[in-house]
Amino acid sequence: MIFIVDEFRSVFKDIMQLLEVEANYVRIYDQMFKDRDSSFKEIFMTSDATVLELQGVIGHKVMWWIMWNLDKESTVELCKQLNCPIDIDVIWNLTGSNPREIVTLHTISWNIETYVNDKIKRMKEIIEIYFREFTSRGWSSEKI
């Protein structure tokens, strides 16, 4: 079982206490799952600044992996663990092997059409914000 928490710092207020508690629970849960020939892992995704802040305090109680995107082998492993029904090369090309994007696809039941449409919608919003900002300053699109 994999439990994933994205944007860890913005979700929890007392990070230190939560990590301390979670580190202890993960060991207990993992042993219970190992007794049943399985495993339990928690993945907390956050900024590198948060990791640097916490690493000195939490230290050896958790395994630290600082990453941006996964290599192909790790992408394949994550997709297997998430029961991805889509060809790994498609996932690799769509997400750039970014674990947050892979989890997003998983969250929407691997619906590629929805995923791509959401990305297109977000890009349109960003472009509109960009042009509103420039036109509010009296600049025309010809100057951009």
The answer to whether residues 73 and 99 touch, using CB atoms and an 8 Å cutoff, is no
HEC per residue, 121-132: HHHHHHHHHHHH
Q: Which long-range contacts (CB under 8 A, 24 or more apart) does 57-64 make?
A: 57/16, 58/16, 58/19, 58/20, 58/23, 61/19, 61/20, 61/23, 62/19, 62/23, 62/26
Nearest Cα to 18, choosing from 57, 68, 66? 57
DSSP three-state, residue 35: coil
Number of H helices, E strands in the chain: 7, 2
Run of H or E residues at 45:
none
Report for 6-15, 33-42, 101-110, 121-130: range of highest mean pLDDT: 101-110
- State residue 144's pLDDT score: 44
When the pLDDT of each residue in the chain is averaged and rounded to a whole number, the result is: 76
Q: Is 90 exceeded by the pLDDT of residue 133?
A: no
- State residue 143's pLDDT score: 46
Report for 11-15, 30-34, 65-69: range of highest mean pLDDT: 30-34
| Least confident interval from 3-12, 73-82, 105-114 | 3-12
Mean pLDDT of 107-131: 89
